[in-house]
Structure 1
Amino acid sequence: MSPLLKLQMWTDLVRSYRNISHFRWLLLGILVGIISGIVAVAFFAAVEFGKFMFLNQLAGLSLPAPEGEELFHGIPGQLRTWTIPICTTAVGLITGWLVNRYIPETVSGGTDGTDATIRCFHQGGGLMRPLVPIIKGTTSVLTIATGGSAGREGPITQMGAGIGSWLAQKLKLSAKERRILLLAGAAGGLGAIFRAPLGGALTAIEVIYREDFESEAILPSVISSVVSYSLFTFFYGTEPIFGIPRFVFHDPRELIFYTALALACTLAGWMYIRTFRFIKYSVFFKIKDRVGLMWATGLGGLLMGTMGMFFPQLLSGGYGWLEMAIMGELPIMMMVAIVIGKTIATSTTIGSGMSGGMFAPALFVGGMSGGIIGQLAGKYYPDIVTQPGGYVLVGMAAFFAGVAKAPIGPLIMVCELTQGYGLLAPLMLASALCIVLGRSFSLYENQVESKFDSPAHIEDKTINILEGLHVETHYKPGRVTTLEEGTTLKALTDIIANTNELYFPVKNSDGVITGILTIQNVRNHLFNPDLFDLILTKDLATKPATLKKDDDLYTALLKFVDTDYGQIPVVSEDDPNEIIGIINRENVFRAYAKAVRELREAAE
């Protein structure tokens, strides 16, 4: 290939990047997906190796692992469960010291890494200090590896979001583009670590709202998630997390039991969130205020380690126990104990300030809640409920959809996990019911209702506010100089000389407004006296435009943009040709600026 041809190709590429929005987001999505994928690969390996060293070799435990995640194998060491609280306490102390010393702003950042990402999107302008995901990611590895009840998904979401934010800052992108790339990075991390590229992308763009999703981030988020997932599976294979049979919904009567599952998941979700908030704010925040963050996280680590020492099912993410529940290998009372214990253990770990995510524990609690309903239904109605394990999977999606207000992403994730859509109908029903029944509570503290409630979309909200303001309160009532169509240019110059107005409504002999005359229209003919008696006002007037008092300012703004007039006459409600005043373009702009200023002040 000749140098000239290469230069032309690069020139076309740069031109496409600058001028074609979709092409630019495609490239940026690929780039952030590559970096997020590499980070996800390293993070996953570090967590699994740490669990093997601390829990298997040091503590001597042989915990079940899902078929698609058991990276390290070995004979467990001598049983030393007393080392678990020692390790978790040490990690708690280290975490508290690092956070308090280097990233103290994250103490009140929300529920977990996902919630911190939501906060950064809405209130931080998409800006995340690189030190935040580095410290949070490192301490999350230690927390999960030593047995802390936390998940990988929250930290990797925050790490991916940090990558997107860092890249946007390096490329000097706008605040809007930073936010979009923030979500693309989060989607990349989530899609890779969960091995669900579409579900990860959709979860990232919908979890930031309770009743909306960030549509502008779909393209880069999907691309980033696919690229990150592809890199991840290059190292760890394409097998899903769980090695389970294919589940199929075949009897409509089962919908009754899936409705019961939705009720159970809603109740478990309410308990899960209330317990977390109580332990976090009523226990550990008070301890933090008295003795400092480091001692609060240290105490959290000690309590978590002690619980895990006697009840190993509570340690780490617990996907191995979930797989056993799906396969029907856990009794009902064990699952009940796990739901209660996991709720308390997760609240203690994350609520104390230790690092980790609430995503995986939420799936764990939801799955066990669904497993309880599935086993009970299968026991008493075996001819209807032939696959109780499917209730575990539906419980996972429905529970998280209810507590996180994310109906689509978790649903797609479960379909990707099962590699089929056999459970789609019960998934949709249970998820919808959980969202409706659980509308009064949310896992993530920084979620907002919709785009109009987010400072990130303050300009969109301003348009909505302009629709609530009316011409009546912003126009200047009074006499307006009106011209007749037959007025000559000579007479017109005398009229203009005796007024300060720049725009004049024009009426015909019947009193109907037929146009608007502007000073710009007249200026081109002022120095040609031969035409003074030949040119009439109707020859110079342009298209008519009027407003009524009850018109909103957004309608007024559109008319000013459409006509490029600086003033538009305001007419009577009863007579469209009776001029009662005039509104200036500056009046609308001032109202717009005032609305933006008030919204920003309210958001601060």
Structure 2
Amino acid sequence: MKNIENKNIDDRIEAARKKIVLSLRLFFARKTKQCLNHQPFSEPVTLAGIAIIVGVASAAGVWLFKQMFSLPFRTVFGGFNIPVELLHHNWIVILLPVLGGISVGLIAQFIIGKERYPGISGVMEAAALNGGRLECRKMPVKTVASALSIGSGASVGHGDPSVQIGATLGSMSGQLMRLSDERVRSLAAAGVAAGIAASFNAPIAGLFFALEIIIGKLNVNAFGIVALASVISSAVTQAISGNQPAFQIPAYELNSLYELPFYLGLGLLAGPCAAFYVYLHHFTRAMFDKWHIPRWIKPGIAGLAVGISGFFLPQIFGTGYVTIEDILNGKSFSVSLLLFLVFAKLALTPVCIGSGFYGGVFTPALFSGAALGGAYGLVIQQFFPFLDISPPAFAMVGMAAVLAGTIHAPITSFILLFEMVHDYRIILPLMFAVNASLFLSWHLQKDSVYTLGLTRRGIRLKQGRDIDILDTITVGEVMVTDVVPLQESDSLETTIDLFIRTRNSGLPVVNNTDELIGILTAQDIDRASNEENKAVSTVGEFCTRDLLLAYPDETIAEALQRIEIRNIGQLPVVSRNNPNRLVGLLRDTDIGRAYDLALTRRKKIRYYPPAS
């Protein structure tokens, strides 16, 4: 009886809570709608006010997050400035990431639950498919899990969690006000910019990150509030933490233009490293997904790998900020040590995130780029002593080069490096390396670390954010299969009558063994109409034999590009294994049907997301 009474009390409390939340949402929505609709000038003013709130809240949230992970890290590892020699071969460092991994795994399994797209990929999906609407309830717990991951030494970064904090605050503001999809998406992007600005003290980089990664284009309507939120967030961060760049480094100088080809060489090395890093992220996630063991054990296994690696290379623990700064300040590192750090970070970060640790890929990419550039600079310095090479300069450029190849956002990489080091004299080497890295990385791995997981689930984003819905439908789903082809020996005059009766604009042509040899179109019939003996002419004499083909497993978008090459109305669909075997016909009317199907599927993904 007592249990029933307690349940009734709990139900009443929950009902009262929901009523209060609903009342608050209605109140804020009503007030916001009044401000947005009553006066023409009130909309930008109101949105600007919300952007300011998002900027302040994001800065405070990111600052609190940094305190959360720095506290356990100081407790565990003695502080960010601890000499790594004290950690080297210290057996306790093997155990600590394991305990952290198990703790994070328990939080993930019993509180957070399964997520389809962790991190920034989830923000991108929400911006493309769900009007920027993010699930806000789990963000505090995910922030704690991220802080615990970094604090226990997992090889993850703080940039992505900071972005999620800002994006969630921006999205939540729009949802509370019941704003339109476009406004909520813009506010989520404003939160993303504010998160980057607070995390790296880089407001301009935050602005371009939101435009390149989340919005995907220079949206005039969103630009103002995104820029405002980023600037406000940076101002609050500087008021709390000071106006220092992310890394304190000596001044850089380009001593000779003869150095530029070597920076190009650095970009050619950074591109494959970035592509490998992207591939490993999704390989390790698939690998851990296939392991049929309790979810909370998986981060513990990854923590063991981190602990064993950190036993020999303690620099890989956590974000690695101290090591990055040491490399940039020219601290003595051997080439072999730097190369070990490159590949250890590139491998361990995907292992940590794939197993279930919470954290980002942003800062580890900077770490790997700094180590790669530092090692490369030392080699060049040894072989070309007369050029007065500065290895820290190559380390700076390497950071941006690997980052650009990883996230496919060159402008963000340019600006972020400038703002972090406060040195704009590095522009020429930076352009050489970043462009070379991005070119190679894109050709080796066309998707970025954020979009590859979405692409493999059928969500292909154009310009990074705006979904191309025709990329979600294959030719085999809409092609016509009950096609009766023409025989090459058929009379042309009889075929003309058939075209008139059936109103076809083209039909495939096969030989006596049913192999596809061509297609007869209305243009071919027009060409044949000038022939005097067309009554005795055959289809095989006038059909087009230089064919453009489609395949059942390719997307409608790919087939449409082929159709537009010759402005034709249909494509024969053939088997991949046997291009002479006709399996269907794709017509322009089928493409219109594919568009309707894709719109329906897009709505289904939005409201009923597929399981992970």
Quote the Cα distance in structure 2 between the aligned partners of 1:202 and 1:313: 30
State TM-score, norm by structure 1: 0.68
1:449: Cα distance to partner? 4.5
Work out which of the residue numbers 138, 154, 157 in structure 2 matches 1:151. 157
Q: Kindly indicate whether residue 82 of structure 2 is the aligned counterpart of residue 62 of structure 1.
A: yes
Aligned twin of 1:248: 253
1:96: Cα distance to partner? 2.1
Aligned twin of 1:84: 93
Q: How does 1:273-288 map to 2 (within 5 A)?
A: 273-282=278-287, 284-287=288-291
For residue 422 of structure 1, give the secondary structure of its aligned residue in structure 2. helix
Work out which of the residue numbers 436, 439, 450 in structure 2 matches 1:436. 439
Aligned twin of 1:500: none
- Over aligned residue pairs, what C-alpha RMSD do you find? 3.2
Query: How many percent identity over aligned positions?
Result: 26
Q: Could you report, residue by residue, the CA deviation over 1:441-473 in whole angstroms, capped at 9, with x for unpaired residues?
A: 221133754259734x879x9xxxxxxxxxxxx
* Counterpart contact for 1:374–1:385, Cα < 8 Å: no
Q: Could you report, residue by residue, the CA deviation over 1:27-51 in whole angstroms, capped at 9, with x for unpaired residues?
A: 2221110110110111112222221
* Counterpart contact for 2:155–2:306, Cα < 8 Å: yes
Q: How does 1:32-111 map to 2 (within 5 A)?
A: 32-56=54-78, 62-63=82-83, 81-106=90-115, 108-110=116-118
Q: Kindly indicate whether residue 241 of structure 2 is the aligned counterpart of residue 225 of structure 1.
A: no
1:223: Cα distance to partner? 1.1
Aligned twin of 1:579: none
Aligned twin of 1:180: 186
Work out which of the residue numbers 398, 423, 426 in structure 1 matches 2:426. 423
One-letter amino acid matched to 1:408: I
Quote the Cα distance in structure 2 between the aligned partners of 1:78 and 1:308: 8
Deviates more, 1:329-338 or 1:383-392: 383-392
Q: Could you report, residue by residue, the CA deviation over 1:506-562 in whole angstroms, capped at 9, with x for unpaired residues?
A: xxxxxxxxxxxxxxxxxxxxxxxxxxxxxxxxxxxxxxxxxxxxxxxxxxxxxxxxx
For residue 425 of structure 2, give the secondary structure of its aligned residue in structure 1. coil
One-letter amino acid matched to 1:62: I
- Structure 1 238/298 Cα, relative in aligned 2: closer, same or farther at 3 Å? same
For residue 127 of structure 1, give the secondary structure of its aligned residue in structure 2. coil
- Structure 1 225/423 Cα, relative in aligned 2: closer, same or farther at 3 Å? same
- Structure 1 454/350 Cα, relative in aligned 2: closer, same or farther at 3 Å? same
- Structure 1 166/324 Cα, relative in aligned 2: closer, same or farther at 3 Å? same
Deviates more, 1:340-349 or 1:193-202: 340-349
1:592: Cα distance to partner? 10
Q: Kindly indicate whether residue 385 of structure 2 is the aligned counterpart of residue 382 of structure 1.
A: yes
- Structure 1 31/18 Cα, relative in aligned 2: closer, same or farther at 3 Å? farther
For residue 37 of structure 1, give the secondary structure of its aligned residue in structure 2. helix
Q: Kindly indicate whether residue 209 of structure 2 is the aligned counterpart of residue 203 of structure 1.
A: yes
Quote the Cα distance in structure 2 between the aligned partners of 1:29 and 1:238: 22
Quote the Cα distance in structure 2 between the aligned partners of 1:453 and 1:239: 32
Aligned twin of 1:450: 462
* Counterpart contact for 2:247–2:420, Cα < 8 Å: yes
* Counterpart contact for 2:338–2:375, Cα < 8 Å: yes
Aligned twin of 1:160: 166
Aligned twin of 1:341: 344
- Structure 1 600/220 Cα, relative in aligned 2: closer, same or farther at 3 Å? farther
Q: Could you report, residue by residue, the CA deviation over 1:4-26 in whole angstroms, capped at 9, with x for unpaired residues?
A: xxxxxx99987787645543432
- Structure 1 380/179 Cα, relative in aligned 2: closer, same or farther at 3 Å? same
Aligned twin of 1:481: none
Q: Kindly indicate whether residue 373 of structure 2 is the aligned counterpart of residue 352 of structure 1.
A: no
Residue ranges of structure 2 left out of the alignment (5+ in a row): 1-31, 473-502, 504-590, 606-612
Aligned twin of 1:547: none
State TM-score, norm by structure 2: 0.67
Quote the Cα distance in structure 1 between the aligned partners of 2:349 and 2:33: 53
Quote the Cα distance in structure 1 between the aligned partners of 2:337 and 2:464: 45
* Counterpart contact for 2:303–2:352, Cα < 8 Å: yes
1:154: Cα distance to partner? 0.8
Aligned twin of 1:237: 242
- Structure 1 453/78 Cα, relative in aligned 2: closer, same or farther at 3 Å? closer
Aligned twin of 2:323: 321
